[in-house]
Amino acid sequence: MRVHLGSDHAGLDLKDHLIGWLQEQGHEPVDHGPHQYDAQDDYPVFCLRAAEAVAAEPGSLGVVIGGSGNGEQIAANKVLGVRCALAWSEETARLGREHNDANVVSVGGRMHSLDDMTRFVGVFLETPFSGEERHVRRIAMMSAYETTRELPPLPESALGGA
């Protein structure tokens, strides 16, 4: 599988580690940068490129990495067609794929050990989307909103009749 990666200076070491690890696992990593340490670099430059590549290539997945993973997740989620999950455990990595059909995962390079973060990425890549109707329905609502900007209708139970 092709896996697009982007980070900032805080995620550079993990990104470089993941490139070798992904190759060992039989994946095809694509490095969207940075390619050298610069304490002043800006994560949107690299994370948006990785997310754009995932959106343009159905079937590929992505990994964005920063200090906490928060900004990188926000950046990736600005790209139409990307659903980026922030993983801070194996369970959040698994649920991001299983329930949300996330196609990008964000991890915080300063939040966990290298081994833990590699495991989170591995779980994310190995977990299929469940395809359960409730999850498909929810994703469809978000996808429709992305393109139309129309809110989904409120359910009867939320209308609170008088």
Query: Which are the catalytic amino acids?
Result: 72, 99
The full length of the chain comes to 162
| Spatial contact of 103 and 50, defined as CB atoms under 8 Å apart | no
Q: Which residues contact 121 (CB under 8 A, 6 or more apart)?
A: 18, 63, 87, 93, 105, 107
CA torsion, ordered 106, 51, 5, 128, to nearest 10 deg: 60
CA-atom Rg of the chain in angstroms:
17
Q: What are phi and psi of 28, to 5 degrees?
A: -115, 95
Strand partners of residue 30? 4
The helix/strand/coil state of 80 is: coil
